Structure 1
Amino acid sequence: MEKKITNIDSLILSFLERTISSDELQVLRKWVKASNENEKYFRQFQESWLLSNGAFAKKRFHKEQAYQNFLDRIKKSDINVTKRPIALRKILYYAACIILIFGAGIGLQYGLRNHQNEEVMSYKLESPRKAKVKISLPDGSVVWLNASSSLCYNNQFGVSNRDLSLQGEGYFEISKNPQLPLMVTSGNVKVKVLGTKFNVQNYQDDDEIRVALQEGSIDFSDSRYEKSILMKPNQLIICNKKTGVLTLKDINTEYTNSWIHDDVFFNEEKLGTIAKVLERAFDVSIHFENEGLKNLIFYGDLKIEADNIIQIMDIMSATNKFNYRYNRDKKEILIFH
């Protein structure tokens, strides 16, 4: 079926360039939701835009080539585009910071509010279970989101603020900007950064918030306390969500971001905590015959690969600490003695 596109291409490009107005955004959202064909076109546009320039790994961004690659790809699909000249404006931010990658399962949500007579757009990037994603932020910083995690920021990021809100787990490599420190908020915890590499873990069902610093320095604070803690490399802070007790440890932090390479390192970790990691990584539900099993301690290095949950459970159960049953149809695992 012939699909005529008038100004939709310009709207999508404006969206990717982060120059789209609220009215234009509403038009674009309405158009995308109007049909499956429109949604498919929108997805293909974004995917080609990303894949043609490798924005997650490179500094240069060839938008003209990206668009041409998109047109070439569309020619091979069932959607025909009415060709017309398009004015490509100078990009102020990398498109990757707001890209919507359906294949990886990232979700993007919008929020609009007025602030000091300026319109502020809020963005939410999500990584579901069984997936993790790498994101380039507008200021050149890079963030990896682990499974079942989300990251929020607004269109003033890199301009008047560098504020991020994290739910779940993220590893950060932050570009230096002394005039505009980056702030990561996760629950009661705030991490102030100038330029560094660190990992933050705070899932909603976790009992603790963990912040591990690899390089540089960060200022750790909890809204329940007046004082902050200046962290040094190879330090880990554990914050108990219920009691507010803070524990500062000296550790080897090289393993704290191993999950971005599909490795999970456990050092004196409870089985209950490990189960949560596996649930998110493989999109399964793990149940325990009794609460005592959750307190079993494990050491080790696991490789997270496609559908190797059985191999992992076999390795762990070979310690004779527990037995398990896996219901593949229901994607449920029962751990018992």
Structure 2
Amino acid sequence: MKREELIQKWLDHALTPEELEAFKQLDDYEELTKMQTALQYFKAPEVDVNSAYNTVTTTKKDTPKSTTWLMPLLKIAAILVIGFGTYFYATLPTLTTHETVVAHKTRIELPDTSEVMLNAVSSVSFDKDTWTDKREVNLNGEAYFKVAKGKTFSVLTDDGIVTVLGTEFNVKQRNHLFEVFCYEGSVKVTHNDKSVVLSPGESYGILNGKEFRYEKENLKEPTWIRNESSFKSLPLQEVIQEFERQYDVTVEAKNIDTSQIVTGSFTHTNIDTALQSITLPFNLKYQKKQHSIILKRD
């Protein structure tokens, strides 16, 4: 596949596992990821096109023919713009980014030997140049952390911040679901200026803006590490979305009440067994069609 096609699919978040590996081999892979980060800081100003056009045309009519004084001014302005742009880009964080595609997981070692296990369709980024002073990780998706002891370690998500010193915990941030489970040590979760401290076996979650807590459980690690997704009192829709991430398929569930609450699990290693785990409790049938699964009432 051509370089341009790989970059376009990367921008559209449509790379297959093989294409993602090919993309990472590009000579300018690091520059491309830095550029994507830099673009997040820019926002085009709102412009009234008609007003701007009228201003230009009016100015053009009223401006004297002699414009020799204007060229030096334009050159100075151009130099200032280029200089500011160069400085701005040079001072942006040099983020290191790791991401996974559907049906894939990966293990990452952070600069302080902390470990991150990244679930499917997830990404983490961090600034290794400032890591000694500030241990911060940006997370989109789901990850399991084993944090080395040291300074405060923070996981930043769109829904909340998880802060620890040295511990093991799992963070899931998917669409309308934010969930944190502490396996070792203690974890502080901050959401909308409210903080909750979790001990081993305790969890905290937010679903569609509503907080929820599970009973304390004695678990050593999240089940997805062992290729099994588990759910407790969550809507069927959440289960379906996780199934799609693990098997790279699209699930059609027309005329199915996906708000029904699910407690259970499914394997990542056998699609038929996984589908039976999901459909049998609800007396549903399924039909496989190329890269899609159709759920039907029994």
Query: Quick check: 1:192 aligned with 2:152?
Result: no
TM-score by length of 2: 0.67
**Contact 1:133-1:145 at 8 Å conserved across structures:** yes
- Which amino acid in the other structure matches residue 326 of structure 1? K
| Alpha-carbon spacing, 1:250–1:156, altered in 2? closer, same or farther (3 Å) | farther
> How far does residue 256 in structure 1 lie from its aligned partner after superposition?
5.9
Query: Quick check: 1:236 aligned with 2:203?
Result: yes
Give the corresponding residue for 1:171: 144
Match 1:209 to one of 178, 183, 195: 178
Q: CA RMSD in A?
A: 3.2
Give the corresponding residue for 2:227: 262
Query: Quick check: 1:102 aligned with 2:21?
Result: yes
CA offset digits 1:189-244 (Å, max 9, x no partner): 001110010000012xx32200111111111101x22x31121111111123x53x
Query: Quick check: 1:326 aligned with 2:295?
Result: no
Identity of matched residues, %: 23
Give the corresponding residue for 1:335: 295
Q: Distance in 2 between matches of 1:127 and 1:311?
A: 24
**Contact 1:201-1:209 at 8 Å conserved across structures:** yes
Match 1:160 to one of 130, 133, 137: 133
Q: Distance in 2 between matches of 1:319 and 1:118?
A: 55
- Which amino acid in the other structure matches residue 191 of structure 1? V
Per mean C-alpha deviation after superposition, the further-off stretch among 118-127 and 273-282 is 118-127
| Alpha-carbon spacing, 1:316–1:188, altered in 2? closer, same or farther (3 Å) | closer
Give the corresponding residue for 1:134: 107
- Which amino acid in the other structure matches residue 152 of structure 2? P
| Alpha-carbon spacing, 1:119–1:324, altered in 2? closer, same or farther (3 Å) | closer
* Structure with greater Cα Rg: 2
> How far does residue 111 in structure 1 lie from its aligned partner after superposition?
1.8
- Which amino acid in the other structure matches residue 153 of structure 1? F
Per mean C-alpha deviation after superposition, the further-off stretch among 162-171 and 282-291 is 282-291
**Contact 1:212-1:235 at 8 Å conserved across structures:** yes
Q: Distance in 1 between matches of 2:277 and 2:93?
A: 50
Secondary structure at the residue paired with 1:317? Answer: helix
Query: Quick check: 1:295 aligned with 2:256?
Result: no
Q: Distance in 2 between matches of 1:301 and 1:208?
A: 17
> How far does residue 278 in structure 1 lie from its aligned partner after superposition?
0.8
Q: Distance in 2 between matches of 1:247 and 1:186?
A: 18
| Alpha-carbon spacing, 1:323–1:255, altered in 2? closer, same or farther (3 Å) | farther
| Alpha-carbon spacing, 1:157–1:321, altered in 2? closer, same or farther (3 Å) | farther
Aligned pair count reads 229
Secondary structure at the residue paired with 2:224? Answer: helix
Q: Which consecutive unaligned segments of at least 5 residues does structure 1 have? A: 1-32, 37-100
Match 2:247 to one of 282, 290, 308: 282
> How far does residue 146 in structure 1 lie from its aligned partner after superposition?
0.3
Secondary structure at the residue paired with 1:251? Answer: coil
- Which amino acid in the other structure matches residue 154 of structure 2? M
| Alpha-carbon spacing, 1:246–1:298, altered in 2? closer, same or farther (3 Å) | closer
Q: Distance in 2 between matches of 1:233 and 1:132?
A: 24
TM-score by length of 1: 0.60
| Alpha-carbon spacing, 1:320–1:289, altered in 2? closer, same or farther (3 Å) | same
CA offset digits 1:137-169 (Å, max 9, x no partner): 111100000000000111234322111110000
Match 1:317 to one of 279, 283, 288: 279
**Contact 2:159-2:178 at 8 Å conserved across structures:** no
Q: Distance in 2 between matches of 1:298 and 1:247?
A: 15
Q: Distance in 2 between matches of 1:193 and 1:263?
A: 26
**Contact 1:212-1:256 at 8 Å conserved across structures:** no
